[in-house]
Amino acid sequence: MTPQNQHEGERTRIREAMNRLLAGQATASNGSLTIVALAAEASVHRMALQKRHADLKNEFYERVRNETQQVPEPEKQLRATVTKLKKTISNQKDEIERLRDLVTRLTLASAVLTQKQDERERIPVPEPDNVIPIRPPTT
């Protein structure tokens, strides 16, 4: 059997399996409307379906959407992932806003402390009368 004939045989089996799954008459799989079930129903390796027959995979999902009014499982998973990522982004935006506010407050506190230290350094401190310098001050 040539590779071309083998692929045509696979394509025929995939289309027949598609029809059985959509009719609810699965014979070799659990009957779910997924690529795994389609591959099992057609007796085709899942990767062959994903790689060589990607057009049939897309056709299957389109038929699932149109004929059963169901959302295909991969699309459900993607939607759940998108929702999760949107929540993560929202949480990160909130955290960034809190951190920016904290940076502003810490900068202001630092400025106040620096100013107080400068004021303390400007006030002359009287020298105690019991301290003797080691070297006399040079003038």
Residue 139 has pLDDT above 70, yes or no: no
- CA pseudo-torsion sign 18, 22, 26, 31: positive
Amino acid at 99: L
- pLDDT of 87 reads 96
Per-residue pLDDT reduced to its tens digit, 40-82: 999 898 898 888 898 999 899 888 888 877 777 778 888 999 9
State the residue for tokens 């951190």: 99
Q: How confident is the model at residue 3 (pLDDT cuts 50, 70, 90)?
A: low
- pLDDT of 107 reads 94
Q: Which residue has the higher pLDDT, 24 or 118?
A: 24
Cα(117)–Cα(119) distance, integer angstroms: 5
Q: How confident is the model at residue 125 (pLDDT cuts 50, 70, 90)?
A: low
Alpha helices in the chain (DSSP H): 3-23, 35-42, 46-51, 54-68, 73-122
Residue 109 has pLDDT above 90, yes or no: yes
Residue 4 has pLDDT above 80, yes or no: no
Residue 1 has pLDDT above 60, yes or no: no
Q: Considering only 9-13, 43-47, 69-73, 96-100, which range has the smallest mean pLDDT?
A: 69-73
Residue 126 has pLDDT above 80, yes or no: no
